[in-house]
Amino acid sequence: MTAASSKTDRLVLHLAAARKLARYLLRNNADAEDVVQEAYVRALQHGGSADAGDGRAWMLTIVRNVGYDWIRRSRRAPSDSTPIDPEEIRTDAPSPEAVLLAKLNVEALRRSLDRLPVNHRTVVILRDLEQMSYKEIAERAEIPLGTVMSRLARGRASLRTLLSTHPANFSQPSERSCQTNEGSTGDLVRRAHPSRD
């Protein structure tokens, strides 16, 4: 196996996470696919910059930067017409009621995430969906650790507020999960969008 082939294989492992991040940033599947393609081209051209690890944080940073560039170039609000991917809705309960509730939860969460400012949405997604550490987010976003924590706190608080406006459509977290700092919003995001990596 050549070094280039090994590098490509490592990057392909993060394709699902890259697509998910791009979809959340752009809110349009076609634009998101273009961003992921452009990000992978850049990553393969500049592969020497990858960390010694698996390259996940490095790849997601490239996707985020390309996504931001795409938004700036387009100078238009991202489309709100992204359909929910049925593969992203997973439920252990086989009943039709549980499936419907899961779909409503995902839709309410997607709408709420879409309403967050892009810098808050990005940090929430990287932390709660992609489970990156605060330090990784700070390094990759080139912002201080305190800024990561404040954006995450503000993003989660805004998300909680937005989700509370959909009480009939969104099952609320347990009281116990709301007592932890990490708990409620992050857990809700992860439950509604389990990682496919």
Architecture field, domain 88-197? Orthogonal Bundle (1.10)
DSSP-assigned letter for residue 194? -
Contact predicate 79/28, CB 8 Å? yes
- 20 has a pLDDT exceeding 80: yes
Angle 102-35-56 from CA coordinates, rounded to 5°: 75
Query: For position 151, what pLDDT does the model report?
Result: 94
Domains in the chain: boundaries: 1-80, 88-197
pLDDT digits (tens, 9 = 90+) for 22-52: 988 888 889 999 999 999 988 888 765 555 5
Is the C-alpha dihedral spanning 176, 169, 154, 59 positive or negative? positive
pTM of the model: 0.51
Type of residue found at 62: I
Two tokens, residue 169: 């459509």
What is the CATH code for 1-80? Answer: 1.10.1740
* Element (DSSP H or E) covering residue 134: helix 134-141
Mean pLDDT of 148-152: 94
* Element (DSSP H or E) covering residue 61: helix 56-74
